[in-house]
Structure 1
Amino acid sequence: MEPSNYIALLRKRWPWFVAFVVAGVMVFAVITFFTTPIYQARSQVFVSLRGSDNTAELVQGGNYTAKQVASYKELVSSPRVLDPVIEELGLDESAASLAAKVQAEAPKDTVLINIVASGDVPTDAAKIADATALSLAGLVSEIEKPQSGGESPVELSVVREATVPSSPVLPNTRLNLLLGGLIGLVAGVGVVLLRERLDTRIRSHEDLRMVTDASVIGVVTFDDDAPAHPLIVEESPQSPRAEALRRVRTNVQFLTLDTDRRILVMTSAIPGEGKSTTSINLAITMADAGSRVVLVDADLRRPSVSKYMGLEASIGLTTVLIGRIDLADAIQTWGNKNLHVLPSGVVPPNPSELLGSTHMKELLTQLATEYDVVIVDTAPLLPVTDAALLARIAGGAVLVVGAGVVHRPQLAEAVGALQTVEAPVHGIVLNRMPVAERASYKYRYYEYQPDPTERQPVGESGSGPGQKGIWPGPKPELPKHRRGDDAPDPEPAASRPSMRDHEAPASAFSDERTFEQSGESTLEQKV
């Protein structure tokens, strides 16, 4: 990773680091709270020689005592020093266990011995230090006594008695909390880096570039109410998500300028990436721009177009392919008269055979001659082969990639499935992008501000225009769910001007000029 990537990761995952630091501090605070406090008391002993007035003897005696101090220091932890201490204080422990609580220090170039005693009771620590100093002095006088008799030439004097400590030396609360925070920070960095390495989900343009060089033709954000309100363009026509879908529409128009048949096969790698809702909203935006659009629900495994749009689902693509009904009678009008929908029909036992048949190819050819744009919603690529078959017939596909849903190996496998049938990826729609992530790709000059006078969608979610409870006040014109004699037949291709023969309607482009510009690569590679 580049340094800039680490900085971006720190900015994106800072709550993780804060959480780990707080957790580390709390853990060490609990440990500190339950740790038994340890107190230390210190007494000091001075080593000297008795009864010498001669200067030479004093110097010689001083050198002798300085050499002996190291030996006396080692005697402090011996049983001969500590046994009298245990007996005097009535301690319920052995000399070995008491030796772990007593230490001796000899400052350099001095004849001083510091005796440090530790304990969980302050007064006990002071008593042990003083008793040990007196016991050491007595032992030295005994072992340094001349064999001829008389007093020992070496004298140990207690020059500083131990004072009762007022605060413990362990645990060190400040040091422990600082150490806990540091360990938590290191653990947080490690967990975040490991998570980034192991997490292969597609989350950004950089992740897409690691898999494919196909152009990103749009980025659509995700919010919590998206599943309840799939018809974004109809229910929130001025929202940022609706504007993002209009941008996808504009880019798709450029993608298809060099094709004779404007057939868009919409698919994804796995379920749950939002391909059906993207197909529906793209069809609505194209119809609003003045194009005659037909939306075909070719997902014969789990069809959802009719459910989202409130249409009759029992008659549709499958009944046309098996010859039970004419195409004109199966197509239903939705919204304005520019948008027509061919539902899936009854789910068949052999979807792949139907979609890969000659009848399906002929049906798409017929639709392409009668409509400006044919949008085909298909099943995901990885579970079944339906989308690959249709992409081969149409000459390519548009991949809808769900941010945070699909993994890089899955997307690579989906792209490979299209390459196997020689169907190129026309473009990628990065769907379900978190709003915080999307903000880094746009300018924030234009933002959606709801108009208090604007009609807001109410009532049951997931309904399309013409359903009960969608709009307050006067109802819009209800869509014709079945094309009857009163529905105008599609204009013949010869008499209807083609989108390739004239400029696209102004509404198809003007609304994108004020849209928040994104940083994604769009169409320069295609145009």
Structure 2
Amino acid sequence: MELQDYWVILRKRWLSIAVFTLLGAALAVAASLAATPLYQATTQLYVSVKTGESSSDLLQGSNFTRQQVTSYTQLVTSPLVLQPVIEDLGLAARTSALADRVSADSPLNTSLINITVTDENPAIAAATSDAIAKEFKTVIAQLETPSDGSPSAVKISIVRDAVAPEGPSSPNLKLNLALGLLVGIALGVGIAVLRSVLDTRVRSETDVARVTDTSVIGTIPEDSDAPEHPLIVQSSPHSQRSEAFRRLRTNLQFLDIADRPQSIVITSSLPGEGKSTTSINVAITLADAGTRVALVDADLRRPSVAKYMGLEGNVGLTTVLIGRANVEDVIQPWGNGFLHVLAAGQIPPNPSELLGSLAMARLLEKLTSQYDVVILDTAPLLPVTDAAILSKLTGGALLVVGANKLHRNQLAESVGALETVGARILGIVVNRQKRKQSDQYAYYDYTPTPATSADSGRGGKKRRAPSTGRVPQVPEAAAPTAVSGPTTLWPGDSLSETQLKDFQRQQAQNAPAQHQRPGS
């Protein structure tokens, strides 16, 4: 991972990192408040050796004491010193327990010994420290006494008596709080990085780029109302999802201009990634642009196009493939007439064989000769092989990737399945991608709004209409008149004689009303 990746993780997981940081600080404060306060008292000793008055004797004595001090610090916690202290003070503790609360050290290159005692009671800590220092002097005098009974050359002097401390030495609230913050930050960052490494879900175009070099030609944002409104281009034509489908349509129109595919398979890796809704909305946007589109529901296992579009689904593709009907008899017009839908029909027992049959190849050839674009909604790639079979027969495949649903290894397997059969992958569409408010261009309010002003008729100035809550009504004379006739005609098709007469009669009836001025 690069430094930029870590920065992205920190920005993405900052909330969890902050939670762990605060949790670490809270635990540190709680542990500090729950801990029993301990007090430390220190007695300082000085070790000297009786020597001659010459400089060499003094130097030898100084070196001797420094060497002996190291051994003396180890004797402070020995039972030889601590047992008499326990008996004298009447402490209810064993020598091992008292030794855990006693420490001795010697500053570097000095003849000093610091004896420190830790206890819950500051007075007991000071008294115990002084008692240990006095007993230590006695023990050293006994150990250093020559065999001839002469006085010991080593002299132990108490240079600083222990004083009962005013404040506890532990817990240290500030230190514990700082450590808790550091541990919380480290734990939060570590868990965030670990989650990012272990999380293999495809969430954005960056994750797609880690798996394949295939271009992402469309990104459809997430919408909580998408399941209730699958035909978003029709139900909410000015929404962000609708605009995203229009951008996808534009990218498809400019895809391989020299060799533009006339038939496109739209599939996904797993069920529930939105391949059917993508197929339908792409077909609607193409038809809105004046392209003659045939939408074929080739998902012969779980068909859904007819249900979403409110069409008859009992007859359709399977009916044509088994020879019981012609495609002209079962294909259904939808919308403005530029879109025709071929439902799946009855679910057959052998979907893969039907889709890979000669009858299917001939049907595709016929549809591509009659329509500008043929879109086939197929079954997912990983559970079955239907999409791979059709991708080989068509001009290419469009792979829909459901954000936060598909894993990278599954995407790689789907791309490999298409490449294995030699299918042409036209591009990838990332569906239901979560975006921040700043990424959704929310500050551009470019949706149509009703007019709120009218001409005042004086001086050419406009006067704001009073807010009555009513929608302005358009006079019937000014309303545009729809042209009658079947909605299945393509642009450029000639009208019949009856349709032409009806059109001329409607134009003659509307002409006086269109020239009449309001108020005349």
- CA apart distance, 1:330: 2.1
SS of the equivalent of 1:83 reads helix
Deviation for aligned residue 1:233:
1.3
Distance of 2:164 and 2:33 partners within structure 1: 22
| 8 A Cα contact 1:146 1:152, kept in partner | yes
SS across alignment from 1:255: coil
Contact 2:338 2:490 in 1 (8 A): no
Alignment deviations for residues 259-296 of structure 1 (CA, whole Å, 9 cap, x no partner): 58622211112222211111111111112112222211
Q: Which residue of 2 aligns with 1:91?
A: 91
Q: Give the match for residue 181 of structure 2.
A: 181
Q: How does 1:106-185 map to 2 (within 5 A)?
A: 106-108=106-108, 111-141=111-141, 156-185=156-185
Aligned position for 1:415: 415
Quickly say closer, same or farther: Cα 1:256–1:111, change in 2 above 3 A. Answer: closer
Question: Cα offset for 1:435?
Answer: 0.9
Maintained 8 Å contact 1:13/1:192: yes
SS at match of 2:400: strand
Alignment match, 2:387: 387
Q: Secondary structure of the residue that 2:318 maps to in structure 1?
A: helix
Residues 337 and 182 of structure 1: is their aligned pair in 2 closer, same or farther, counting only changes over 3 Å? same
The residue aligned with 2:61 is 63
1:103 corresponds to 2:100? no
Residues 124-523 of structure 1: matches in 2 within 5 Å? 124-141=124-141, 156-255=156-255, 257-259=257-259, 262-436=262-436, 439=439, 444=441, 447-448=444-445, 453=450, 487=486
Structure-2 change in CA distance of 1:101 and 1:306 (3 Å): same
Query: 1-side partners of 2:380 and 2:75: how far apart?
Result: 83
Deviation per residue, 1:74-112 (Å, 9 max, x gap) = 432232321221012211222232222222233456554
- Aligned equivalents of 2:123 and 2:219: distance in 1? 72
Alignment deviations for residues 473-498 of structure 1 (CA, whole Å, 9 cap, x no partner): 99xxxxxxxxxxx85555599989xx
Residues 6, 193 of structure 2: 8 Å contact kept: no
Range moving further from structure 2, 301-310 or 66-75: 66-75
Q: Report the CA distance shift for 1:98/1:405 in structure 2 as closer, same or farther (over 3 A).
A: same
Equivalent-residue separation in structure 1 for 2:27 and 2:293 (angstroms): 62
Which moved further from structure 2: 404-413 or 137-146?
137-146
Provide the rounded CA distance (Å) in 2 between the counterparts of 1:361 and 1:206: 37
* Inter-partner Cα distance in structure 2 for 1:277 and 1:245: 11
When the two chains are superposed, the root-mean-square deviation of aligned CA atoms in Å is 3.7
C-alpha distance in structure 1 between counterparts of 2:142 and 2:70, whole Å:
17
Contact 1:238 1:448 in 2 (8 A): no
User: Which consecutive unaligned segments of at least 5 residues does structure 2 have?
Assistant: 452-470, 474-484, 496-520
Alignment partners' CA distance in 2, 1:398 and 1:108 = 76
* Post-superposition offset of 1:30: 4.4
Kept in 2: contact 1:331–1:342 (CA 8 A):
yes
SS at match of 1:277: helix
Q: 1:199 to 1:79 in 2, by over 3 A?
A: closer
Q: What amino acid is the match of 1:226?
A: A
Q: TM-score scaled by structure 2?
A: 0.77
Greater Cα shift, 276-285 or 58-67: 58-67
> Is the contact between residue 292 and residue 490 of structure 2 (CA under 8 Å) also seen in structure 1?
no
Quickly say closer, same or farther: Cα 1:319–1:46, change in 2 above 3 A: same
Contact 1:102–1:116 (8 Å) recurs in 2: yes
Q: Is the CA contact 1:296–1:377 (under 8 Å) kept in the aligned structure 2?
A: yes
Tell me the alpha carbon deviations over residues 327-365 of structure 1, each in whole angstroms, 9 at most, x when there is no partner.
Answer: 333223333222222222222221112222222222222
2:38 counterpart residue number? 38
Change (3 A) 1:448 1:353: farther
Quick one: distance in 2 between partners of 1:210 and 1:158? 73
| Aligned-residue identity in percent | 51
Secondary structure at 2:314 match in 1 = coil
Q: Deviations over 1:46-74 (max 9, x none)?
A: 45689x9x966998599379456555544
Cα deviation code 1:171-204 (max 9, x no counterpart): 3333333333333333344333333333333333
Between 365-374 and 83-92, the greater mean CA deviation after superposition: 365-374
Question: What's the secondary structure of 1:282's corresponding residue?
Answer: helix
> In the alignment, which residue of structure 2 is the partner of 1:11?
11
1:44 is paired with a residue of what secondary structure?
strand
Do the aligned partners of residues 493 and 390 (structure 1) sit closer, same or farther apart at CA in structure 2, a change above 3 Å counting? farther
Computing the radius of gyration from Cα coordinates, the structure with the larger value is 2
Separation (CA, whole Å) in 2 of partners of 1:410 and 1:73: 67
CA deviation digits over 1:127-166, x for unaligned, max 9?
2112212222344455567888798776645443322223
- In structure 2, how many angstroms separate the alpha carbons of the residues matched to 1:385 and 1:6? 39
Residue 291 of structure 1 aligns to which amino acid in structure 2?
A: T
Corresponding letter in the other structure for 1:369: S
Where 2:374 maps in the other structure, the secondary structure is: strand
Cα distance in 1 between the residues matched to 2:284 and 2:314: 22
